Structure 1
Amino acid sequence: MIPSRETLQRLQSRWNFALDPLEIVLRLGELLRAVRHDETLRDRLALKGGTALNLCHGVPRRLSVDLDFNDTGASEREQMQSDRPLIAAALERIARRAGYQVQRSREAHAARPGQTRRKKGN
């Protein structure tokens, strides 16, 4: 769900964050909920890093604008690599369903959707 301008302004006055990063964090929260409910991803991906800490321990002091995951589904490297296209497809499906354009990462360590961008009007 796209947060309304009124919602963003109410949250901004409460937490004193700029509107754009605040909207991004709310949208990331929606994507994170979709990952949690996705049958392919929910038992495989572990949220890690600053976003995880910020979102899990009360009101964050700063807003992060990305989601980082570790694949915890397979312990063997070969299995993890063979599962990578399945995970990438599930992440892309979630992003597209939420109205984002997906730009694939060229980095070897990335499980793929490297970046998502909002479509105009979303």
Structure 2
Amino acid sequence: MKSLLFVFTVCVLYGGVQALTCYDCTSVFVDNCRVIDANTSQSNCSSGESCRVLTTYLADAITSVLRDCESSCSAADVRLLGTGAVTTCCSDADLCNGSGRVTLETSMVVLMIVSIMAALTAISG
């Protein structure tokens, strides 16, 4: 029982202090934000913000890409005849607004490690 209480306490404390980190860049007619690499800037979001990717199109060609933190992100595809914008939002993992999505959230890894440690402690004690 103490092990379960310990795991719950760690998860609550960890979840309360975890800040989301997002890629933060803009490109217009160039590729410096379309493809993420080691030089792409990152920013720590404020509480309640999500990572966003806003891609604008002109005649089905990408004209700009914006990656940042957004407080009121709403996913949308507002294109007509290949011209307009697509907004995607995520808050499930750090840097989730990159070109490849990471699906295993950091807090899940911590939860698994703490659970294993608690189980081993209960078995040996």
Structure showing the higher strand proportion among its residues: 2
TM-score (norm 2): 0.30
Higher Cα Rg, which structure: 2
Structure with larger RCO (C-alpha < 8 A, sep 6+): 2
TM-score (norm 1): 0.30
